[in-house]
Amino acid sequence: MLAHAGGTLPWLLPRMDRLWDVAEPARTTRARPSELARKLYCDTLTFDAANLALVLERFDPEHVVTGSDYPFTVREVPPGAVIADGAPAHLHESLRSANARRLLDGVKHT
């Protein structure tokens, strides 16, 4: 789970893919970095609709959950507010709750 919408990773992935494509010694995985990134989870905490749209393009939208930055004063109020402007309507329910529920249901409780 990556905080802050994966940080700089969504913006670095094209550069990482380019390196993977042209520099065989740097190729330590069978899949390109952008393919591997789609397996990661991150939150929606971008404060920017365009940035959230890029996150949804680079990560699997089913692996993106609402972020809040709580308890910090700069947090998004309400949590996930950027979803209304940065995500297609058909993803709103998934981003706001369904993805997190599915992720947490998969966590083994001991």
Q: How high is the pLDDT of residue 107?
A: 78
The pTM of this model reads 0.90
What is the DSSP track for 39-83? TS-EE---S-HHHHHHHHHHS-GGGEE----TTSTT--SSTTTTH
pLDDT attached to residue 109: 62
The pLDDT of residue 25 is: 84
Mean pLDDT, contiguous 10-residue spans, the chain (110 residues): 96 96 89 96 96 97 94 91 95 97 81
